[in-house]
Amino acid sequence: MHKLSPKSDLNYAEVIAPYWKKLIDREQGGYYGYVDFDLNLDKNAPKGVILNSRILWFFSNAYLTYKDPDMLDYAEHAYLFLRDHCLDREFGGVYWMMKADGGVFDSIKHTYNQAFAIYALSSYYAATGKAEALEIAFEIFRLIEKICTDEKGYLEAFDREFRPIANEELSENGVLADRTMNTVLHVLEAYTELYRVSKDETVGEKLRNIIEIVQKHVYNPDKARLEVFFDYDYNSLLDLDSYGHDIEATWLLDRACEVLDDSELLRTVRGFTGPVAEQVYAHAYKLHSLENECEAGVTDTTRVWWVQAEAVVGFLNAYKYTGDEKYLAAAEDIYAYIEDKLVDKREGSEWFWDLDETGVPASRKPIVEPWKCPYHNGRMCFEIVNRGF
């Protein structure tokens, strides 16, 4: 019997949950949006809607996993901020960024952001049974399917009134993408959770469509990877292996099939999630951890916090489906690296953003900012427990 669960319980109970609980903003709502590398809290920083959606997801699933009623209070606080401040009652959907006081800071609407609101609201509904949360999740789901899609798949960035704009928020590495693997992956993730809690047939149908998009347009069978950035017609814009996204995608795609309860579809999907996991293991798992990415043959060896968390879950998932002990050993090895290196031992901190190959911080990136949240590392803890490791 493997003993990752007691370790992850401590990581959750002694590091992650206490840290994010203390970031609650009792005066202006939601959770504070910025803590710098030196652990200075900026109470006036804008609050990312993705950040607050992920915090809502985290506390909802903390309750679902550990049955600690205290978590529901923190989840409700996040829910009320999302409901009362982040939703655009005139044009629909959620904004990109809020001011510290809950006013609108950035009114951009992004499909990726809408997906995380659905993801969080669905989990909050599962934790509380609050019908209003599920209703809002379905409102956003219908909006995505009506406005944020076309005949080829999912569109990305819009202004407040849902007029298309350049996709700057999810484009990186010097390209400006019309479509991204990242948005497709997290719409899939959101719809998986919405279907899990509702069993709505239309959601299930759209979830199957997304899996087909991944198989036909995103997965590259020649390189056993998911392409990352695309033009409108799904032509890849960059020779890039994004190891964290690849290993995350393997288990999210498998989970979608499990939630759909479709064994035939799962066999089809395992036909490419299996090779992707093997490719990541073979090329990115080094020095007890996962490298970040490889662009045009040049490897970025930075050890990024969320990539390590997803590697643990992805390799546990690969072990589940293959029985190959090397994946289990890799998951356990990377988890030990996380505890030893990535968890910030300074009092009042959480995880570092990134480390270099020697295991020291590679940058002075913040401990909290719009993308740095308890979603990846918290989910790793929940997945370890719920998978029985």
Give 343-385 pLDDT, tens digit per residue: 999 999 999 999 999 999 999 999 999 999 999 999 999 999 9
Q: Does 2.60.40.10 match the CATH number of domain 4-386?
A: no
Could you tell me which residues come within 8 angstroms of residue 224 by beta carbon, excluding any fewer than 6 positions away? 272, 275, 276, 278, 279
d(CA 225, CA 266): 18
pLDDT at 2: 66
Q: What is the pLDDT of residues 273-288, one digit of tens each?
A: 999 999 999 999 999 9
d(CA 228, CA 225): 9
pLDDT at 142: 98
Element (H, E) at 378: helix 375-386
d(CA 306, CA 13): 18
**Spans of all domains in the chain:** 4-386
d(CA 113, CA 183): 9
The identity of residue 128, as a single letter, is T
pLDDT at 220: 98
Distance of CA 218 to the CA centre of its chain: 18
pLDDT at 186: 98
d(CA 117, CA 49): 8
Backbone angles phi, psi at 371, to 5 degrees: -105, -10
**Mean pLDDT per 10-residue segment, the chain (389 residues):** 83 97 98 98 98 98 96 98 98 98 98 98 98 98 98 98 96 96 98 98 98 98 98 98 98 98 98 98 98 98 98 98 98 98 97 97 97 97 96
d(CA 53, CA 79): 8
pLDDT at 1: 45
pLDDT at 70: 95
Report the predicted TM-score, pTM, of the whole model to 2 decimal places. Answer: 0.97
pLDDT at 3: 80
